[in-house]
Amino acid sequence: MTQLLAAIDLGSNSFRLSVGRVVTHDGVQQIFSIDRLKETVRLAAGLDENRVLSEEAIQRAVDILQRFGERIRDFHPSQVRAVATNTFRVAKNIDELLPRAEAALGFPIEIISGQEEARLVFSGVAHELPPSKESRLVVDIGGGSTEFIIGKGLEPKLMKSLHMGCVSYTKAYFPNGIVTEKGFEKAELAASKELEIISKSYRKEGWAQAFGSSGSAKAIIAVLRDSGFSSKGITLEGMLKLKRVLIKYGSARSPELKGLKTDRIEVLPAGLAIMIAIFRSLKVDLMLQGEGALRVGVLYDMLGRHVASDKRDETVKIFMRRYHIDVKQATRVKNLALELYDEINPDNKEGIRRGVSWAADLHEIGLSISQSSFHKHTAYVLEHADMPGFSSDDQRRLSTLTLVQQGRLNKTHIQSLSSDKWQAILCLRLATLFLRKRQNQKLDKVIHLNTDNHRTITLRLNKEWLDDHPLTRYSLELEAQEWQTVGFTFNLIETLT
């Protein structure tokens, strides 16, 4: 396995790049940071009232990503994972932002859900803390969202992402970093209303220790300590002292404040207002600093993928149990779909191939809802469910694959897909067609599949076998017609051997 991994965290306030070196000692693998880059982008500040990101904000992001891209230019794609959070999730013009961002970085960018962000944050913090059997609360105040996780060891139990962050709240309640008592009142009230969703369940679950991760918590801890407002970590008493100083001077530019970095001056009041609301709503007494956070969680998630403990595989197994999937049939479909895919794409892209495998495992989720149009129910679940380890893009690809596993092909823009992606659709459709009887069949000497880059599909089948399977023959003829309807050439050839 490669010794270097790179994680890019595209947050609403800052972009971060971490390069880690994988070290194995006594069979245990750990990641040690060897390089870090962080740049303030204030991406969320570029959103207008319609959630359209300004050209200026997009260009700021592109400029930073070009610099990050130079640092990891020689990395293999398997060594890099870039994840984007709240602003990428909510921006209405994401189709304009994402291609430019990916071109600047030189690697794909995954837009992850709030739940997935919370899971990765907890993983990052937990990996940097001493082992403990006690429950821990982790709070991560970002630029556009705040994640709340309670878990033990490395496993989260409760996770929630709320729509409040230091950049969005600065824009709404402390414009240009101007602090007023009224602004604090409104910001704390807004945060308290958001927290009503989780306060009861989180207090009931309980925790032994609380940790704040990322920039806002780190900045609050540093100011409270260096300014003499708190001797250890974050306390409500210390924050109220800090709040009074901010209101007194009308900004965070106060001679009474120590330990505050320049890039945190403008967003500190909003982060503080959110943290005060958290302490009051969740009844937190003390919060310590948690290192690591999202980017470290991404690094360890990548490490898991390299050592065959991919979180996505675990999620697929859980979903198969949850939706009572016929495992034997799923395995049959998966094996045949992958055999066909490998035949036509021997130099396959591992990511697409794994997508075929997961889609085959999960293609009958919808049967637990209704047999009628089950593939539509499957596609809906896979796009909208919380699937730990999967990015939003991963889920959309799975949704598309399973949506067109049968029926009309014009449900997706198949003509615009790259060859490996429409080939994946073809293989899954053929696998479900041939295995309709839900029985084991020896098909390795019966079927031979070829495709080319000119949208030509050639399927050769043993004539004697086809004569014994008239339903399959009829279904294949309909399948050929369907592909031809969307602009492909489908040759169905019967052979005597």
pTM of the model: 0.68
Strand partners, 21: 4, 32
Give, in order, the Cα–Cα distances in Å from 392 to each of 87, 124, 344, 354, 365: 14, 20, 28, 16, 18
Taking every pair of C-alpha atoms in the chain, what is the biggest distance, in angstroms? Answer: 90
- pLDDT surpasses 50 at 1: no
Closest CA to 303 of 112, 78, 33, 126: 78
pLDDT given for residue 349 in this prediction: 66
Range with the poorest average pLDDT among 239-248, 403-412, 437-446, 451-460: 437-446
User: Long-range contacts: 397-400, Cβ < 8 Å, 24+?
Assistant: 397/355, 397/421, 398/355, 398/358, 398/359, 398/362, 400/425
* Mean predicted confidence (pLDDT) in 397-414: 89
Q: Which residues contact 176 (CB under 8 A, 6 or more apart)?
A: 266
279 touches 239 (CB < 8 A): yes
Strand partners, 36: 18
Q: What ranges make up the beta strands (E) of 26-93? A: 28-40, 80-84
Q: Could you give the CA distance from residue 436 to residue 444 in angstroms, rounded to a whole number?
A: 17
Range with the poorest average pLDDT among 165-179, 232-246, 273-287, 341-355: 341-355
Query: Residue 101 has which token pair?
Result: 């961002």
Exposed e or buried b for every residue in 380-402, given b needs 16+ CB within 10 A? bbbbebebbbbbbebbebbbbbb
Q: For the segment 451-460, what is each residue's pLDDT rounded down to a tens digit? A: 987 889 999 9
Closest CA to 376 of 405, 344, 354: 405
* Mean predicted confidence (pLDDT) in 461-466: 90
The crossing angle, in degrees rounded to 10, of helices 350-362 and 392-403 is 60
150 touches 156 (CB < 8 A): yes
Highest averaged pLDDT of the listed ranges 189-198, 208-217, 372-381 = 189-198
316 touches 361 (CB < 8 A): yes
* Mean predicted confidence (pLDDT) in 155-182: 93
286 touches 210 (CB < 8 A): yes
Share of the chain above pLDDT 70, in %: 97
- pLDDT surpasses 70 at 437: yes
- Strand, helix or coil at 364? coil
* Mean predicted confidence (pLDDT) in 305-314: 66
Sign of CA dihedral 245, 247, 249, 250: positive
Q: For the segment 216-233, what is each residue's pLDDT rounded down to a tens digit? A: 999 999 999 999 999 889
Give, in order, the Cα–Cα distances in Å from 87 to each of 188, 305, 332, 351: 22, 27, 41, 26
Q: What ranges make up the beta strands (E) of 112-206? A: 135-141, 146-152, 155-162
Closest CA to 352 of 256, 424, 441: 424
Q: How far apart are the first and last CA of the chain?
A: 44
48 touches 54 (CB < 8 A): yes
Read off the DSSP letter of residue 78.
G
Q: For the segment 12-51, what is each residue's pLDDT rounded down to a tens digit? A: 989 999 998 887 766 667 788 889 999 999 999 899 999 9
Report all structural domains of the chain as residue ranges with CATH numbers, in order of start: 4-112+296-304 (3.30.420.40), 129-290 (3.30.420.150), 310-444 (1.10.3210.10)
* Mean predicted confidence (pLDDT) in 227-255: 94
Q: Could you give the CA distance from residue 52 to residue 175 in angstroms, rounded to a whole number?
A: 19
Q: Could you give the CA distance from residue 169 to residue 271 in angstroms, rounded to a whole number?
A: 8
Q: What ranges make up the beta strands (E) of 260-394? A: 288-290
Range with the poorest average pLDDT among 178-192, 245-259, 402-416: 402-416
